[in-house]
Amino acid sequence: MNDFSYSKRPELIKELQEDHFDLIIIGGGITGAGIALDAASRGIKTALVEKHDFASGTSSKSTKLIHGGLRYLKQFHIKMVADVGKERRIVHKLAPHLVLPEKMLLPVLKNGSMGMFSISIGLKLYDFLAGVKGDDRRRMLGKRSTLKEEPLLPPERTKGSGLYAEYRTDDARLTIEIIKTAYQYGAACINYMEAKDFLYENGRVSGIKCYDVFSNNSFNVKGKHIINAAGPWVDEMRALNKSKKGKQLFITKGVHLVVPKEKLPVHHSIYFEVQDGRMLFLIPRDQVTYIGTTDTPYDGNKDVLEVGKEDATYLIEAVNEMFPNIKLNLEDIESSWSGLRPLIYEEGKSASEISRKDEIFISSTGLISMAGGKLTGYRKMAEKVVDKIAKKLSKSAGKQYPKCLTLRIPLNGNDFKGSREVAVYIEKISKVLAAHMIPEKYAPYLVHNYGKQTDRILKALDSFSDNDPEFRLLNSELSFCINAEMVCEPLDFLERRTGRLYFWIGTVEKYKKEILTTFKEKFAWSDDQFENQERILTEAIDRSRQFN
Ligand code: FAD
C-alpha cells in the first residue's frame, strides 16, 4: 500500500507543479474528498488542495450522523430525504466499521407538537422512502416499553415513542478514509496548501495559484477543470473568480456539547423536541454523550469558531427540561465544537427552514462551485458533478470515462463482510489489548476509527518502550497517523484523526507535553515551533470548554 505521509509532500508538490490535471479540487472536506475519489477511480487525473488540514472545516464539526434527515420530511423535501436516506446503507457497506447502525428513539410527549399517529406515519414514510427493510423498520413503542428502553425519560410526560434506524459515524475519519482511498487511485491530495487565485487562458479558468503553508512558497497548478468545494468559503472563491452573483451562501452555525456519560447516561441515541419546537440529538459515544445542535445565522470569523455561552446554555437547559432528573450545568461540559453549514440562501426562510439540498454553480469562466448538501449525500453529490466533468473531458479528449464506480469501492480500513465481522474483530482486538495491559475500552475506539488498520497500529506497540500502556498505544496510533494519514500537526491527530479532543479529552490533557515532544522529534521543530504548537493546542483545549 502506498502510504500517505508527510514525507511524500515534496513528491506531491513536484507532481502538482509539473503535471497538467484533468481536474483540480479546492477543499478537502467531505465534498472535495468524495469528488476526488469518484474522479480518480474513473481514471480522471485529479488534484485536491486543502488550505488547512483535511476535514478541518465543517466536515469535522457535524452531528456525525449518516441520516436521511427526518425533520426535512416536515418541510416536504421528499426527494432529498429519499435520496439521502438510501445512501445511508450504501455508505455503511463501504465502511461498516466506521458507519455504524444506530437506533434512534423519538419520544412522543404530552404537549409535544407530534402525536403517536403522526410520528408513526412520518417514520413509516421515512423508512419507505429510504427502502428500509426487515428488522430495521421503525417500531412504535407504548409508554411502558419506551420507559424500559430509556428510563431517563420523564414518565409523566412520555406517551410512547418511535424507534427507527439511522447510522452514526465520525465525519473527519470518513473524510480522511475517502481521501486516502482517492490517493490510492492516484489523486494528488495535499493539505496545508491554499488556493490563492485562479489562472486563466482565453477567459477560462486553467489552473490555480497555490500557497504552501509550510514553506511559504507559491506555485501554479494547471488543470482543465476546477471545482470549488470550499464549503463555507465557497463564496470567497467565487468572489476571487468575480462570479459571486445570483444565488449565494447563507452560513449558519451549529454547536455541540460533550458531557461525561455518567452525567447524561442515556441508553440510546435520542431525537427529541424542545419547547421552542426545535429538534435536538443526544448521542452516546464511547465514554461520553454529546448534545446538538443549534442553527443560527453566522457572519463572524470562519477560521476560528467558538461555542458561545448563550448556545451552550440553550442546549443544557433543553436537556434539563427534557430530563428533569438530569441537572446539567456548564461546568459539566467536557468538550464542545461548533460548525458552519454552507447553505444556499432562500428569500424569506429562517436558518432551519432552508433546504439542505446541494447545488452546482458554473461561472462564465468555467469555475464549478458545489455547496449545500449533507455529509451523508457526499457520494451522490460527487457522482453528479463528476458526470459533468467526464462528459466534457470525453468530448475534448475523445476518450470515454466509465460511469461512477464508488458504489463498489470499499473505503480504506474496510476488509469486513459486514457488521457481524466488525463485532468479531473488536473481540479479537480486546484480547490483544488485554495482553498488552491496555484497557479493553480502546477496542471499539480503535476498530471504529481505523478498521483493519488497527492490526498495523497494534503490531507497532512493542517498538514503544514506555511503562504506561495507554501512552504506548497513543504513540503507536500517532506513528500510524503520521506515516499513513498525512498528519502534520498535533491537532490533525488529536482532533481530526482520533476525535480525542472531543471524546477522550482527558487523554489529550494527560499526554499533551509528550505528544508535542514526539512531534518535535519527528518533524525537527525548532523551540519556537514547539512553543507555537503548544499554544495552539492549549487554546484548542480551552476553547472547547470555555464559553463567552
Ligand atoms: P467543509 O468540510 O467545510 O470543507 C471545505 C474545505 O475547503 C475546508 O476544509 C476548507 O479549509 C477548505 N478550503 C476553503 N478555502 C480554501 C482554499 N482557498 N484553498 C484550499 N482549501 C480551501 N450532515 C450529515 O449528513 N449528517 C449530520 O449529522 C450533519 N450534521 C451537521 C451539523 C452541523 C452543526 C453542521 C454545521 C453541518 C452538519 N451536516 C451534517 C452537514 C455536513 O457536515 C456538511 O454538509 C459537510 O460537512 C460540508 O462539507 P464540505 O466539504 O462541503 O465543507
Note whether 277 and 235 are same-domain residues.
no
d(CA 443, CA 427): 8
Closest ligand 1 atom to residue 57 Cα is 3
Is residue 84 situated within a structural domain? no
- Residue 369 sits in a domain of what CATH number? 3.50.50.60
SS3 289: strand
Q: What is the whole-number distance in angstroms between the Cα of residue 374 and the centre of ligand 1?
A: 8
Residue 454, H or E segment: helix 454-459
64 assigned to some structural domain: no
Beta carbon of 338 within 6 Å of any ligand 1 atom: no
Boundary (domain end) residue, out of 376, 408, 440: 408
| 258 within domain boundaries | yes
Is there a domain that residue 230 lies in? yes
Q: In this structure, which residue's CA is closest to atom 41 in ligand 1?
A: 374
Domain shared by 158 and 301, yes or no: yes
Q: Is the pLDDT of residue 350 over 90?
A: no
Q: Are residues 363 and 477 in the same domain?
A: no
More confident residue, 337 or 268: 337
Residue count of the chain, please give it. Answer: 548
The verdict on the CB of residue 231 being under 6 Å from ligand 1 is yes
Domain that holds residue 389: 6-58+172-247+358-408
Mutation probe of ligand 1 site: the residue of 59, 238, 489 with most atoms within 8 A of C-beta:
59
Q: Which atom from ligand 1 is nearest to the alpha carbon of 339?
A: 36
Close Cβ partners of 53 (under 8 Å, ≥ 6 residues apart): 28, 191, 192, 488, 489, 491, 492, 496
Q: Are residues 425 and 293 in the same domain?
A: no
- 340 CB less than 6 Å from ligand 1? yes
Q: Rounded CA gap, 467 and 471, in Å?
A: 8
**What pLDDT score does 167 carry?**
97
CA of 59 to the centre of ligand 1 (A): 4
* 113-127, 206-220, 336-350, 429-443: the lowest-pLDDT one: 336-350
DSSP 493: I
pLDDT classification of 313: cutoffs 50, 70, 90: very high
**Is residue 414 one of the residues assigned to a domain?**
no
Q: Is residue 71 part of a domain?
A: no
Beta strands in 326-420, from DSSP E residues, in sequence order = 335-344, 359-362, 368-371
96 lines ligand 1 (CB under 6 A): no
pLDDT at 403 over 70: yes
Q: pLDDT tens, 280-289?
A: 999 999 999 9
pLDDT at 1 over 60: no
Helix (H) or strand (E) holding 46, with range, is strand 46-49
Alpha-carbon distance of 401 to 41, in angstroms, equals 10
DSSP 313-349: HHHHHHHHHH-TT----GGG--EEEEEEEEEEP-TT-
Residue 129, ligand 1, Cβ within 6 A? no
CA of 160 to the centre of ligand 1 (A): 36
Which residues neighbour 301 within 8 Å (Cβ) at sequence distance 6 or greater?
A: none
Residue 85 covered by a domain: no
Would you say residue 227 has pLDDT above 90?
yes
Lowest mean pLDDT among 263-267, 356-360, 477-481: 356-360
Report which of 522, 489, 490, 520 is spatially closest to residue 507, judged by C-alpha positions: 490
- Among 319, 338, 353, the domain boundary falls at 353
20-to-23, 157, 267, 366 alpha-carbon distances in Å: 9, 64, 53, 17
Ligand 1 pocket, residue 476 CB under 6 Å: no
* The C-alpha cell that represents 70 in the structure block: 427526518
Comparing 179-183, 454-458, 465-469, which segment has the lowest mean pLDDT? 465-469
Q: Is 258:506 a contact under the CB 8 Å cutoff?
A: no
Percent of the chain with pLDDT over 70: 100
Instruction: Read off the pLDDT of each residue in 304-329 and give the average, rounded to a whole number.
Output: 96
Check pocket membership of 160 for ligand 1, CB cut-off 6 A: no
pLDDT at 177 over 90: yes
Is there a domain that residue 437 lies in?
Answer: yes
In the chain, pLDDT over 90 holds for what percent of residues? 88
Residues 431 and 520 grouped into a single domain: yes
Confidence of residue 2 (pLDDT cuts 50, 70, 90): low
- Cα(290) to centroid(ligand 1), Å: 19
Domain count within the chain: 3
Residue 263 in 3-state DSSP? coil
Segment 90-147, tens digit of pLDDT = 999 999 999 999 999 999 999 888 899 999 999 999 999 999 999 899 999 999 999 9
DSSP string over 186-218:
T-EEESSEEEEEEEEETTEEEEEEEEETTT--E
Which of 353, 373, 397 marks a domain boundary? 353
Pocket test residue of 375, 379, 385 for ligand 1, highest count of atoms within 8 A of CB = 375
Distance CA 275, CA 290 (A): 19
> Average pLDDT, stretch 487-515?
97
Does residue 348 share a domain with residue 254? yes
Domain match, 158 and 16 both: no
Span from the CA of 30 to the centroid of ligand 1 (angstroms): 7
Check whether residue 239 and residue 256 sit in a common domain. Answer: no
Please tell me whether residues 206 and 266 are part of one structural domain. Answer: no
Ligand 1 centroid from CA 286, angstroms = 24
Give the pLDDT confidence of 64-83 residue by residue, as tens digits. 999 988 887 777 788 888 88
> Looking at the structure, do residues 35 and 110 belong to the same domain, yes or no?
no
Measuring from atom 4 of ligand 1, which residue has the nearest CA? 29
Q: CA 543 to CA 361: how far, in whole Å? A: 35
**CA dist., res. 491 & res. 284, Å (int):** 23
More confident residue, 2 or 391: 391
The predicted model scores a pTM of: 0.97
* Confidence band for 269, pLDDT divided at 50, 70 and 90: very high
Q: At 257, which CATH number? A: 3.30.9.10
Q: Summarize the confidence of residues 235-261 as an average pLDDT.
A: 95
d(CA 47, CA 218): 16
pLDDT at 314: 97
Ligand 1 pocket member 373 (CB < 6 A): yes
Averaged pLDDT, 195-200: 98
| Together in a domain, 101 and 112 | yes
Helix (H) or strand (E) holding 224: strand 218-228
CATH code for the domain of 495:
1.10.8.870
Q: Point out the ligand 1 atom lying closest to the alpha carbon of residue 255.
A: 34
Residue 161 shares a structural domain with residue 291: yes
Q: Please report the pLDDT score of residue 265 as a whole number.
A: 97
Determine whether the shortest distance from the Cβ of 354 to ligand 1 is under 6 A: no
